[in-house]
Amino acid sequence: MKKLLLLIFILNFISTKAQDVIFSQSFLVPETLSSSFTGALKHPKAGTLHRSQLTNSGVKINTNYVYYDTWFDSFNSGLGVTFLNHQEVNSNYNFNQLNLNYSIAFQISNEWFFRPSISVGMGVKSFGFQNLILEDQINITDFSIGSSVDPLIFQNKRTFFDFNSSILFHNDDSWFGLTLRHLNRPNISLTDNNNVPLDIFMSIHAKYYFPIFERGYSWLASQSKFYFLSNFMMQGVSSRLDLGIQYTFEDTFSFGIIAGTNPINKNDNRQFFSSINSFVGIKWKSFRFGYSYDFNTSKFINIGGVHEFSIGYDFNINIRGFFM
């Protein structure tokens, strides 16, 4: 019975790791939202994010994200690469994924552009089961450790191919997009002869410019912009809707606040409001810095907030893209 309960607990823990990482600074670093932003600045750029969550709980989770992309003007296309590392500190769970991204831009009117993209990658997830000892591995005569014949014996690592696609519509100030990840539904099972297809992740996101300062006659008003932010996400039975606002001053400073909600509540224990996320961004020369903090509003006690840091570098600061 203990053996069965242990296996059920581990399998349940693994299933919770099948959800995609959601970054709080997705509107500061939109590459985390959509591969259609690849090459959007029309010059090379690079950056990284670090996310630390559940800092006061027994299950601390760290996530690191790195990106680089560039633009080929003769092909009207962008090409880039991203790397994601996700790990649970107190266990041996670790996930790495490397993706190659391609986007192309089409002008569909005087002001609007259409940017479809594809992203292909390789993912590797592991969970140090080499340290797990099952009952039938123990020899009671000399207490030596042998091999298990359990049909649910775990693999230490699973490698899979992943395919994603995105579309984006934008003008100089606003954008709307759709991202679909794991279209091939790769098998992420860590047990032999088992198939656990990864759920498709869908994101519908928008950043809309409100011209409330355009009639202002002061210098401050002429340099200020106000945006409405939204991002609806669904993966399997989980869903989330982020709604917020962002203020930017020139191209040097911005701050915003986002409310995380559960619009499709399939669990009576889940509250409608799950978190309040605040973020701030600062540009200095070719560098861009960002920090965000998520205030947890759920019923969980003493799990700590979520800290996220980002830094980006633009290799040609004189040319600006549409969304910054």
Q: Which CATH architecture has domain 2-314?
A: Beta Barrel (2.40)
Which residue in 294, 215, 246, 282 sits closest to 23, CA to CA?
Answer: 294
The span from the CA of 64 to the CA of 98, in Å, is: 12
pLDDT at position 128 is 58
- Domains of the chain by residue range: 2-314
First to last CA, the chain: 57
The span from the CA of 294 to the CA of 275, in Å, is: 6
Return the half-sphere exposure (C-beta side, CA atoms, 13 A cut-off) of residue 56: 9
Say what the pTM is.
Answer: 0.82
The span from the CA of 24 to the CA of 102, in Å, is: 24
Chunked mean pLDDT (size 10), the chain, 324 residues: 40 53 92 95 94 72 94 95 88 88 96 96 77 46 45 67 97 95 89 82 95 68 87 91 93 92 70 86 94 80 77 76 50
Cα angle 9, 14, 15; round to 5 = 100
Q: How are the residues of the chain apportioned to helix, strand and coil, as percentages rounded to the nearest 5?
A: 10, 50, 40
